């Protein structure tokens, strides 16, 4: 049996918006070790994916979506990086802690 992935690549879309991705990533982090999430899309998308991954409520608005009092509880057990991928290049816009 192979080890679960520690890096996941996600692509927000109208069918799978950033807020739902964040919720599912928080759940995934409880089921398997997760050290890095690469968001294929925009910086706004990466910010919206990362923002609710703490135990604090988040209110924000970007071109990728709006969050009002949003949170994912419980937060992931260990912080993980949220990276942005544009045109095949990956940069680290922020880390969730």
7-47 pLDDT, tens digit per residue, is 888 988 889 988 788 888 888 888 888 888 888 887 888 88
- Model confidence at 1: pLDDT above 60: no
Confidence of residue 97 (pLDDT cuts 50, 70, 90): very low
CA dihedral 82, 54, 76, 29 (to 10 degrees): -40
pLDDT for 95 equals 47
Backbone angles phi, psi at 13, to 5 degrees: -150, 175
What's the rounded Cα separation, in Å, for the pair 21 and 62?
A: 16
The answer to pTM > 0.95 is no
71-91 pLDDT, tens digit per residue, is 667 777 787 888 888 776 666
pLDDT for 40 equals 87
Q: What is the CA radius of gyration of the chain?
A: 13
What's the rounded Cα separation, in Å, for the pair 68 and 56?
A: 12
Query: Taking the domains of the chain in order of start, what are their residue ranges?
Result: 7-95
Tokens of 6: 């520690």
User: pLDDT higher for 83 or 52?
Assistant: 83
């Amino acid at each position: 049996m192979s080890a679960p992935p520690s890096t996941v690549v996600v692509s927000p879309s109208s069918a799978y918006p950033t807020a739902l991705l964040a919720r599912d990533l928080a759940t995934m982090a409880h089921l398997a070790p997760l050290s890095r999430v690469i968001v294929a899309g925009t910086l706004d998308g990466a910010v919206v994916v990362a923002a609710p991954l703490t135990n604090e409520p988040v209110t924000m608005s970007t071109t990728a979506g709006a969050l009002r009092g949003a949170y994912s509880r419980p937060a992931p057990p260990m912080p993980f990086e949220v990276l942005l991928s544009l045109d095949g290049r990956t940069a680290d816009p922020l880390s969730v802690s």
